[in-house]
Amino acid sequence: MSLEFIQVERDGKVGLIRLNRPKQLNALNLKMVDEIVETLESMDEDPEIRAIVITGNEQAFAAGADIDEMTEVDSIDMLLRDQFRVWDRIALVRKPIIAAVSGFALGGGCELVMNCDIVIASESARFGQPEVNLGVMPGAGGTQRFTKALGKVKAMELLLTGESLTAEEALHYGLINRVVPVEVYLDEAMKLANRIVGQPPIAVRLIKQSVLKAIDLPLDEGLDFERKNFYLLFSSEDQKEGMRAFAQKRKPDFKGK
């Protein structure tokens, strides 16, 4: 697929996706979402990449799904288009995805952030689900993921008023990991990604899967999932390397095997 609305870069073992539709504040049109999902999947398959960073620009991460593409369609058009189905594939990406967010992360932009695993924000970042202002509601997971992240009462307030959270508020509610000055938000995300790519990839993969299970599974099933994956890691070379390196007081050299 030719990339029209995103730019793709590599920095060592980190894949970087830049949303690039600046005049529309990176509003996510259908082709752009396809490009994002296909690129995430190809980075997930690429053995040279071990973590992914997704970012926009200083002014906007993404100001939502593209309203122009939705204004005049009817329900059956929406049903046949089924535009949010492709979003489900983001949750299947096995490598860690870090969002580096500055400016607007609204509607689909906020939903994209909530599909990432770690979020670094600049002081100017704004997170919200303003769909109610348009006569609709979130469609790419906003009512569910916002509520799981913020708790019922705060999510309800924001979803019903359409108001957004500042970066500091988002940090307070646990929606994001860190707020940093705008000059360094992407550097911070890249630094974090570079730290993760030095970790054993199979353990990283199973930890990500297990944390995601914790959101949906009852505790006993989550514990069972965790335990089986813990035992599974004892067949990896990286487990032997990590534990022997500890005993020998040297830095481990993880191979992803």
Give yes or no for a contact between 63 and 25, defined as CB atoms under 8 angstroms apart: yes
Which residue is catalytic, options 65, 99, 100, 167?
65
Concatenate the DSSP letters of all residues of 53-74 into one string.
Answer: EEE--SSEEE-SB-GGGTTT--
Shortest Å distance, C-beta 223 to ligand CAA: 33
* x/- track of binding to ligand CAA for residues 56-95 (CB under 6 A): -------xxxxxx---------------------------
Which residues inside 143-202 make contact with ligand CAA, applying CB under 6 A? none
Q: Among the candidate windows 49-57, 135-143, 172-180, 242-250, which touches ligand CAA by CB under 6 A? A: 135-143
Question: Which letter does DSSP use for residue 28 in this model?
Answer: B
Shortest Å distance, C-beta 59 to ligand CAA: 8
Facing residues of 75 across strands?
none
Give yes or no for a contact between 56 and 26, defined as CB atoms under 8 angstroms apart: yes
H-helix segments, the chain = 30-45, 75-81, 108-114, 142-150, 152-161, 167-172, 185-196, 201-216, 219-232, 237-247
Q: Among the candidate windows 6-14, 47-55, 132-140, 235-243, which touches ligand CAA by CB under 6 A? A: 132-140
In terms of Cβ atoms closer than 10 Å to its own Cβ (0-12, 13-18, 19+), residue 195 is: exposed
CA distance 134 to 61: 20
241 is catalytic: no
Among 6, 17, 25, 105, binds ligand CAA (CB under 6 A): 25
Read off the tokens for 107: 């509607």
35 is catalytic: no
CA distance 113 to 104: 11
Give yes or no for a contact between 22 and 59, defined as CB atoms under 8 angstroms apart: yes
214 is catalytic: no
Residue 24 or 194 with smaller CB distance to ligand CAA: 24
130 is a contact residue toward ligand CAA (CB under 6 A): yes
Among 44, 57, 139, 217, binds ligand CAA (CB under 6 A): 139
Q: Among the candidate windows 31-39, 129-137, 166-174, 188-196, which touches ligand CAA by CB under 6 A? A: 129-137
Which residue is catalytic, options 35, 111, 188, 226?
111
CA distance 142 to 115: 10
Among 56, 107, 200, 201, binds ligand CAA (CB under 6 A): 107
Residue 55 or 124 with smaller CB distance to ligand CAA: 124
State which amino acid sits at residue 95: K
Residues at the interface with ligand CAA (CB under 6 A): 24-25, 27, 63-68, 104, 106-108, 111, 130-131, 134, 138-140, 142
